[in-house]
Structure 1
Amino acid sequence: TLNISSGGMLLVMDHAPDLLQLLKLHVPIPIQKTHIPTLAEVAWTRPLPMGPQDLHFVGLKFVL
């Protein structure tokens, strides 16, 4: 996870998932040392501008 907010999160993934695809996530909560399961929808993807060709920024919107 590169960035997380109440509305979504930014990930780096080794592939570009389909737009609007639903992903099941386990969001880490460091203070409580636990993970919260949730669903997120792929809002956008972008190839990483530098580095390996198979890495992508993936913007997710929480739906739960």
Structure 2
Amino acid sequence: MAKNTQRGSCETCTYYTYDEEYESYMCDVNMDEDEYMRLISDQHYQCPYYRNGDDYRIVRHQM
């Protein structure tokens, strides 16, 4: 279960970027209203757009 929680964490997602205009981090994926509501309301829902933002993940795996 911990692995799934880590997988869905916004903080590690490529699309979670800092917006200077709002001075906060935001999801940069264009979701429809239903997807967004499901994402924020269901704790076990995993975002289908999640992409790991760790560029060195593959390198560590190869070592």
Q: Shared topology, TM-score over 0.5?
A: no
User: In proportion to residue count, which structure has more strand?
Assistant: 1
**TM-score by structure 2 length?**
0.20
Highest Rg: 1 or 2?
Answer: 2
State TM-score, norm by structure 1.
0.20
Larger helix proportion of the pair: 2
